[in-house]
Chains A and B, each alone.
Chain A
Amino acid sequence: MSDAEVKKPAARGGRNLELPEHLKAYKGVWVFIEHDRGEAHSVSWELLGEGRKLADTLGVSLSGVIMGGPDEPLDAIAKEAYSFGAEACYIVRDPVLKGYRNEPFTKGMTDLVNKYQPEIVLLGATTMGRDLAGSVATTLATGLTADCTELRIDPATRALAATRPTFGGSLLCTIMTLAYRPQMATVRPRVMRMPDSDTSRSGTVIEDSLGMIETDIVTKLLDFIADENSNKVNLAYADIIVSGGKGLKTPDNFKLIWDLAKVLGAEVGATRPVVQSGWVDAERQVGQTGKTVRPKLYIAAGISGAIQHRVGMEGADVIVAINTDANAPIFDFAHHGIVGNAMQVLPVLTDTFREHIALRSRKAA
């Protein structure tokens, strides 16, 4: 399918689509660097990778925005940001910025944008990024495009062309903010590739103050209950994932997925019907309403390959699919297809992997 319905943005309904003169001064690409308990969220580095390409196309600079408390390692995070391609970091350090709260972060970000006027602001589509992005875009009265899967510069207008899936991935739409600045967008973790890090790169710090005191802020952070590590499933960042679908028929058969995952040191994923049947926890769902994953290897057994599942996993380097139906949609985008009964193939595949690994480990030793 090609670009069937191409509509040139037209000034419909009396709306102005030209960038007003006073907004032309907005220059540069910004990435909001999200961090928590001393560590930056990888989505911020993925965004710096994309931001770098946008900035290079436009011939402008790329900067990170870091907000946090005075006892948080903001300078170390800035250093890391340089290694992923930022040329500068705007740092706002204030006791009220320790632990995310909407009010002080919205003020910090909005004030920085008004003062330094970037043309593009990117944020991770996390619970923090979405909370902040929606608030900042409303306060600045500008456009915000959610959950983008592709960011480009439109050559004709030099505007950000942000593409996002709609209707569960069966269609894509490209959205632009033409007459307002900055142009804002959020991107889900793992949708973009992690850029290479180069620790020899350096950058400049621009410190700014928040101008808010604790008594100005109505919402108080009473406590943070960290998720227990034991149940923490890091599916989004797993290198290898073995996933099972409804084709496995019973929760008992689904154990074959765990067996293979154990041999490969992999995480276990699943389709939505599997989660809905209670065979595995919701955190393991891959797809539009679950996690987006980008592993090096994705093994899918008994999965039909519906578009809502596909959008969450097609970024995998290698996809191996096992399905009884040679015409299952999953074979349209898998790299290796095995037509067969998963209950028969999985145990053999697991044994074969185990033997292969044992053999190679012995050779290496």
Chain B
Amino acid sequence: MHIVVCIKQVPDSAQIRVHPVTNTIMRQGVPAIVNPYDLFALEEALRLKDKFGGKVTMLCMGPPQAEDALKKCISFGADDAVLVTDRSFAGADTLATSYALAAAIRQIGKEQKVDIVFTGKQTIDGDTAQVGPGIAKRLGLQLLTYVSRIADLDLEKDTITVERRAEGGVQVLQTAVPCLITMLEGTNEMRFAPLENMIHAARYPVRKWNKEAAGIEDVTKIGLKGSPTVVSKVFGPTPRAEKALMQSVEDATPRDVSLNVIQKIFTQHPTLERDILAKASV
């Protein structure tokens, strides 16, 4: 069995700061990490490999430094890694990204047929959850989004049964492989990388493909040129004009403060009091 896992390298958003005056993102010194959602996809792929054997190939589109993210995945137990990197990919929106990744997966499939493609649910930077469905449509793969559990995989019959998170419940879906799965977060726990894997990963020759190697047929469909969406403006949120009406328990008793707040909100919002009276259990 051959599984391709797509990962994105993202800035560690916990450490992102926005410049208060220029409203630009201060990236200097912010470490880049594997998109945390993608680790659930990788772990699920590794579990399938543990059970059925086969090979896990990592795929990332990004700048040359994204090699580090791929090496990290090798240390967890992935077998091979491809970095699709070319200046002409810069500025891609989700449509152009899925075009490039789909082309690369076709190339990977020429080396060994691909059975399952995994992506994360979404990224923490672009945060659109659009790339997975995009790749599936371009490759004509069955699409299984928000998968919380792989219930069954039958490689004889080429069928797979999964549980998919839907609004108000869980769908149990059965489909044929090859398929594309976007894995829900919190569904598994990433294993530890043993020391020998880390050494192996550090030395691993990640394969770097430019647009020709990635099999891009139409250069008008990649990068900024191939992106229908245009970012027209970036700005900071508007602060609210007035600050909160403040009271402190240093100046009054908690009781007085409470009475005061309740009186104020109910005078200003009479319907709120009615709603509360209607359903409150005293």
Contacts and interface: CB of A to CB of B under 8 A. Distances in A.
Contacts of A146: 127-130
A47 interface: no
Contact of A130 (B98, B129, B138): B129
B269 A13 contact: no
A145 B229 contact: yes
Contacts of A262: 281
Contacts of A167: 13, 16, 18, 25, 125
Given A172-B236, A331-B243, A341-B249, A263 B281 contact: yes
B169 interface: yes
Contacts of A99: 171
A178 interface: yes
Nearest to B164: A127
Interface string A334-356: 11111111001100110111101
B229 A138 contact: no
Interface string A26-39: 00000000101100
Given A127-B145, A146-B128, A177 B273 contact: no
B129 A340 contact: no
A135 B237 CA distance: 31
B247 interface: yes
Interface string A315-349: 00111110000100001111111111100110011
B261 A225 contact: no
Contact of B233 (A6, A101, A168, A177): A6
A265 B265 CA distance: 17
A219 B179 CA distance: 10
B60 interface: no
Contacts, number: 320
B195 interface: no
Binding site secondary structure of chain B: mixed
Binding site secondary structure of chain A: mixed
Contacts of A130: 129-130, 133, 145
Nearest to B238: A1
B232 interface: yes
A307 B236 CA distance: 12
Given A4-B22, A5-B233, A318 B262 contact: no
Given A133-B130, A135-B143, A220-B175, A173 B234 contact: yes
Given A219-B173, A337-B245, A338-B248, A127 B18 contact: no
Contacts of B33: none
Interface in A130-156: 130-131, 133-135, 137-139, 141-147, 154
A15 B279 CA distance: 57
Given A171-B23, A224-B170, A139 B130 contact: no
B186 A223 contact: no
Interface in A16-50: 17, 34, 36-37, 41
B233 A348 contact: no
Given A15-B224, A361-B282, A3 B262 contact: no
A202 interface: no
Given A17-B230, A177-B229, A344 B249 contact: yes
Contact of A337 (B24, B169, B246): B246
A218 B142 CA distance: 8
A297 interface: yes
A52 to B, nearest CB: 24
A138 B134 contact: yes
A296 B238 CA distance: 21
Nearest to B166: A127
Contacts of A102: 133, 142-143, 145
A318 B169 contact: no
A206 interface: no
Given A1-B237, A3-B235, A339-B248, A320 B174 contact: no
A287 B218 CA distance: 40
B168 A226 contact: yes
A54 to B, nearest CB: 17
A103 B166 CA distance: 16
B261 A349 contact: yes
A336 B265 contact: yes
A194 B10 CA distance: 35
Contacts of B163: 225
Contact of A134 (B133, B168, B265, B277): B133
A337 B244 contact: yes
Contact of A41 (B25, B136, B143, B167): B167
A222 B173 contact: yes
A161 B236 contact: no
Contact of A332 (B171, B173, B239, B247): B239
A212 interface: no
Contacts of A169: 237
Nearest 10 CB-CB pairings of A with B: A134-B133, A143-B228, A1-B236, A340-B249, A337-B244, A146-B128, A352-B258, A265-B279, A223-B172, A339-B248
Interface of A: 1-9, 12-15, 17, 34, 36-37, 41, 99-103, 106, 126-128, 130-131, 133-135, 137-139, 141-147, 154, 161, 165-180, 218-227, 232, 239-240, 262-265, 282, 296-297, 307, 317-321, 326, 331-341, 344-345, 348-349, 351-354, 356-358, 360-361, 364
Given A102-B143, A134-B128, A263-B281, 17 more contacts: A102-B133, A106-B137, A128-B167, A133-B130, A167-B16, A167-B25, A171-B18, A171-B25, A176-B229, A223-B172, A265-B279, A296-B272, A319-B244, A331-B244, A332-B239, A339-B249, A353-B258
6 contacts: A1-B236, A5-B235, A165-B237, A168-B13, A172-B235, A265-B280
